[in-house]
Amino acid sequence: MPSYTAPTKDMQFLLHDVLNVTGSQTPGYDELEAEFTGAVLEEAGKISSEVLTPLNAVGDSEGCRFENGVVYTPTGFKDAFEQMKEGGWTGLDMPEEYGGQNMPYVLGTAVGEMFSASNQAFTMYQGLTHGAASAILAHGSEQQKNTYLPKMVACEWTGTMNLTEPHCGTDLGLMRTKAEPQDDGSYKITGQKIFISAGEHDMADNIIHLVLAKITGGPEGIKGVSLFIVPKFHVNGDGSLGARNGVACGKIEEKMGIHGNSTCVMNYDGATGYLLGEEHKGMRAMFTMMNEARLGVGMQGLAQAEVAYQNALEYAKDRLQGRDVTGVKNPDGPADPLIVHPDIRRSLMEQKSFAEGARAFILWGATLIDAAHRAGDKDADGLVSLVTPVIKGFLTDIGYDMTVKAQQVYGGHGYIEEWGMSQFTRDARIAMIYEGANGVQALDLVGRKLAQDGGKHVMAFFELIKSFIKENSGDEAIDRDFMEPLKNASKDLQAAGMYFMANGMKNPNNALAGSNDFMHMFGHVCLGYMWARIALAAKAALDGGASDVAFYETKLATGRYYMARQLPMTTTHLARIETGAEPVMALDAANF
């Protein structure tokens, strides 16, 4: 059975040594003293390891059960959900006026990684509620906020997001769900939504569905889409629950993974809905929380990679198989542990250097979101908007690969379900798909974000890297191992951007054919940047006489691995990009 140990020490190092959160001007960051964040992370780690981790395999093997319109969650989920509520975890970064604790998003993100790593399917019930509550917080009327938020922040009521229909996922302009205006200002919602995570379950008194639909008589396509609140049970004026609304779960899907989360077909049959935000501005309302939601999914990629790595590492230390070719390491045993073998190490170093770099990347992104939301920092908002598709797409693509590598360390034991490694791979797979499939992330990055505000944000990103290198150069080893590789990778990325500018005007496919490669290059540069920042912090700690020498030296060695062996991928990505549209678009569709 897999185990999970929360990376509290690494998170503390990142928050304080690398990101220096208390030195930030962002409101609320002054509260993030090391002692305080340490205590929060410690508690979150405890509930992750002790409550959520043991339920992960249960959720996978039992799955959800659908009977007569009711969805039953796996054994133990309900109790665990109660514990999460009692611990106040569901409202950690929500406003105090609705019962939350108003902590910065960066702390919620660190805690969220732990919850996701220990039980992704379970954590989604809460995560979706958070997303729906954020939308109501941003776009709801006072009355809507007061009606729904206190219950949702406490997770007494959970939330969902209803976008997809059978014939449309990415292209929501094709949507058919209708909203008919009623005399009392409400709407009657009719249509079918699919792939609705947590759409129906037995852990909450009410479920608040946020539903995209088209108001009859409104504009065609995506411009006619509005967002509605559709509660499962009507809410009376006094806050008590009334009759069932006209929404029901039609079935739940059999899936590759996240079996513990109910993926529902939701049928709306004249259900009463309430407009959230403005008419026909449903997509805008959805998108205001997209940065946050996509960062959350990127985090899932990291989280599954982390927990899979932890278990692969344990196995590699325990399992005796073969001998170290450079000399026996375990002379008293029948064989040496797997970890002596270079190719096993290569795999473990890839996993470790990815997970730690990705964690820094996500926490950095979260500080940008905090700066944007809490301090109105427009530059931070532009920068995080630029890197959001990278966080989502790159971290879930590579995060998935890493779970596959971790599974491989187990050999045949990785393929059977008994050891739990298959689940990490199967669960991680969804993160590449939902909240905008990764191809859509690459399209968003290259087709929209690069040119946003006249290219200002991508220029700012390159300037950030450049001045970072300039300001921190001078140490020979750091320059050679970190700054030079970062400079080279960043040059590759800029060259790719130049290629797009020079060739995308005459044919946009010259850019779009390289979008996936560009997203991956960008990811490598961001992780390289993070590792350079980590290296500086580790070196400073060592120079300052820190007692835990092994911790900081391990950081430096892990970073050197990433810079030397992973960052050179930018060369191949650039070469691929510079072939342009021709190789990709050469065939007629009929000739494939």
- Residues identified as active-site: 435
- Report the site for its own copies in 101-140 (rule: CB under 8 A): none
Instruction: Tell me if 219 contacts its own copies by CB under 8 A.
Output: no
- Please identify, among the stretches 8-16, 43-51, 358-366, 434-442, the one whose residues bind its own copies according to the rule CB under 8 A: 434-442
Nearer to its own copies (CB atom), residue 158 or residue 510:
510
Question: Which of 337, 365, 382, 389: binder of its own copies (CB under 8 A)?
Answer: 337
- Please identify, among the stretches 17-25, 105-113, 417-425, 495-503, the one whose residues bind its own copies according to the rule CB under 8 A: 417-425
- Report the site for its own copies in 236-275 (rule: CB under 8 A): 253-257, 263
Q: How far is the CB of 264 from its own copies (least distance, A)?
A: 12
How distant, in Å, are the alpha carbons of 127, 240, 369 from that of 378?
26, 41, 10
- Closest to 538 (Cα-Cα) out of 554, 560, 527, 526: 554
Question: Which of 34, 241, 375, 437: binder of its own copies (CB under 8 A)?
Answer: 437
Q: Position 408: which residue type?
A: Q
Instruction: Tell me if 400 contacts its own copies by CB under 8 A.
Output: yes
Q: How far is the CB of 253 from its own copies (least distance, A)?
A: 4
- Closest to 393 (Cα-Cα) out of 436, 343, 335, 428: 436
- Report the site for its own copies in 338-357 (rule: CB under 8 A): 339-349, 352
Sign of CA dihedral 516, 517, 519, 520: positive
Question: Can you tell me which residue has the tokens 């479920």?
Answer: 207
Query: Residue 178 belongs to what H/E stretch?
Result: strand 178-181
Q: Which two tokens stand for residue 545?
A: 């006489």
Instruction: Tell me if 557 contacts its own copies by CB under 8 A.
Output: yes
Question: Can you tell me which residue has the tokens 């590579």?
Answer: 398
Instruction: Tell me if 505 contacts its own copies by CB under 8 A.
Output: no
What are the beta bridge partners of residue 247?
268
Instruction: Tell me if 434 contacts its own copies by CB under 8 A.
Output: yes
Instruction: Tell me if 439 contacts its own copies by CB under 8 A.
Output: yes
- Report the site for its own copies in 152-191 (rule: CB under 8 A): 164, 167-171, 173-174
Question: Which of 8, 425, 490, 503: binder of its own copies (CB under 8 A)?
Answer: 425
- Please identify, among the stretches 2-10, 112-120, 208-216, 409-417, the one whose residues bind its own copies according to the rule CB under 8 A: 409-417
Query: HSE-up of 327 (CA within 13 Å, CB side)?
Result: 0
Q: Which two tokens stand for residue 284?
A: 């805008």
Nearer to its own copies (CB atom), residue 86 or residue 253:
253
Instruction: Tell me if 554 contacts its own copies by CB under 8 A.
Output: yes
Q: Are 337 and 324 in contact (CB under 8 A)?
A: no
Nearer to its own copies (CB atom), residue 159 or residue 504:
504
Nearer to its own copies (CB atom), residue 274 or residue 434:
434
How distant, in Å, are the alpha carbons of 385, 444, 453, 485, 492 from that of 460?
12, 18, 11, 20, 16
Question: Rounded to an integer, what distance in angstroms lies between the CA atom of residue 331 and that of residue 308?
Answer: 29
